[in-house]
């Protein structure tokens, strides 16, 4: 990653923060973006302390103009883009029959449209550098997760978009990768939306038993260097994808029973 210019959305916490540090320590020039300017600046201070050249651009990926500005400021500062890491995302936990439709729209705006906007504006620069477009997706992009209809929809859409883009640019040197971390110890579940759009405020899962954000970042960095097509992490995640292909009915039952075990699960 020496002297590569890497843009990371959702860079103020969790996997985004860990990726910023991992790519930066590997020699990259890192551009981080997120809605929370204060947290973004705190990550910037960590990057500076690690000797990483960085640029922090506050913004909301659900807004087209914020994404355009992110790309423009990156090119103005560094002159090129080598990696567009679409990491910004939110989750939800509520039954579809109970959820406000605005919650679904919000997830699509951030998880799907945020990826589309940033990739659209970065693409000319990435084609020039023969760089990488990465979407941080989820097992929910392979298997519909009950209680997370909007999240699954947004990740299926992201993966379909990136898959089509990969084929379109097959002979133009662009690397397109979908990374699916599985359940990771990050704050995405703490900020997950409830049925009425309010933040859940707590994780329904035992964070101590999950892969850390730092482990995920190290794997994403390695896969980016190797220009992999797909990255599915955790044994549970790989099993869900494999079974979903060959035994979809059984997978539905296994996923339902797994989600049913969560504390305060909406499934009885």
Mean pLDDT of the chain: 93
Q: What confidence score (pLDDT) does residue 25 get?
A: 98
261 occurs within a structural domain: no
Q: What confidence score (pLDDT) does residue 134 get?
A: 98
Q: What confidence score (pLDDT) does residue 23 get?
A: 98
CA–CA separation, 121 and 135 (whole Å): 15
73 occurs within a structural domain: yes
Give the rounded percent of residues in the chain with a pLDDT score beyond 90: 82
Span 249-268, mean pLDDT? 86
CA–CA separation, 215 and 235 (whole Å): 14
> Is 151 labeled as catalytic in the residue annotation?
yes
264 occurs within a structural domain: no
Point out the catalytic residue in the list 117, 142, 151, 256. Answer: 151
255 occurs within a structural domain: no
Q: What confidence score (pLDDT) does residue 186 get?
A: 53
For 129, other C-beta atoms within 10 Å of its C-beta total 16
Looking at the structure of the chain, the number of domains it has is 1
Span 111-127, mean pLDDT? 98
CATH code (residue 169): 3.40.50.720
Lowest mean pLDDT among 54-68, 142-156, 161-175, 196-210: 196-210
92 occurs within a structural domain: yes
Q: What confidence score (pLDDT) does residue 188 get?
A: 57
11 occurs within a structural domain: yes
CA–CA separation, 264 and 13 (whole Å): 26
Find the domain containing 218 and state its range: 5-236
Per-residue pLDDT tens over the stretch 207-257: 456 789 999 999 999 999 999 999 999 888 899 999 999 999 999 999 999
Find the angle CA(164)-CA(169)-CA(173) to the nearest 5 degrees: 135
Span 10-17, mean pLDDT? 97
179 occurs within a structural domain: yes
pLDDT at 185 over 60: no
Find, among 72, 68, 94, 90, the residue nearest to 81 by Cα.
72
Write out the two tokens for 16.
């985004």
Find, among 219, 222, 225, 224, the residue nearest to 238 by Cα.
219
Per-residue pLDDT tens over the stretch 31-53: 999 999 999 999 999 999 999 99
pLDDT bin (cut points 50, 70, 90) of residue 7 is: very high
CA–CA separation, 259 and 268 (whole Å): 10
Q: Are 213 and 186 in contact (CB under 8 A)?
A: yes
101 occurs within a structural domain: yes
pLDDT at 187 over 70: no
């Amino acid at each position: 990653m020496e002297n590569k210019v890497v843009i990371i959305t959702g860079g103020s916490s969790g996997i985004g923060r860990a990726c910023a540090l991992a790519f930066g320590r590997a020699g990259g020039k890192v551009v981080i973006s997120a809605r929370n300017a204060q947290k973004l600046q705190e990550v910037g201070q960590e990057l500076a302390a690690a000797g990483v050249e960085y640029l922090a651009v506050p913004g909301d990926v659900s807004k087209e103009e914020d994404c355009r500005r992110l790309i423009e400021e990156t090119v103005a500062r560094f002159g090129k883009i080598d990696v567009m890491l679409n990491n910004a995302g939110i989750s939800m936990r509520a039954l579809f029959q109970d959820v406000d439709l605005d919650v679904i729209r919000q997830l699509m705006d951030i998880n799907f449209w945020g990826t589309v906007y940033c990739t659209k504006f970065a693409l000319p620069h990435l084609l020039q550098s023969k760089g990488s477009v990465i979407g941080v997706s989820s097992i929910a992009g392979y298997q519909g997760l009950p209680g997370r209809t909007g999240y699954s929809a947004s990740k299926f859409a992201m993966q379909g978009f990136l898959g089509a883009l990969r084929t379109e640019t097959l002979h133009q040197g662009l690397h397109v990768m979908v990374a699916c971390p599985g359940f990771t110890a990050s704050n995405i579940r703490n900020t997950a939306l409830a049925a009425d759009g309010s933040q859940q405020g707590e994780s329904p899962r035992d964070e101590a038993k999950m892969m850390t954000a730092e482990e995920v970042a190290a794997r994403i960095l390695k896969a980016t260097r190797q220009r992999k097509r797909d990255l599915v992490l955790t044994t549970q995640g790989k099993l869900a994808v494999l079974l979903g292909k060959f035994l979809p009915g059984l997978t539905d039952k296994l996923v339902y029973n797994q989600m049913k075990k969560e504390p305060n699960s909406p499934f009885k």
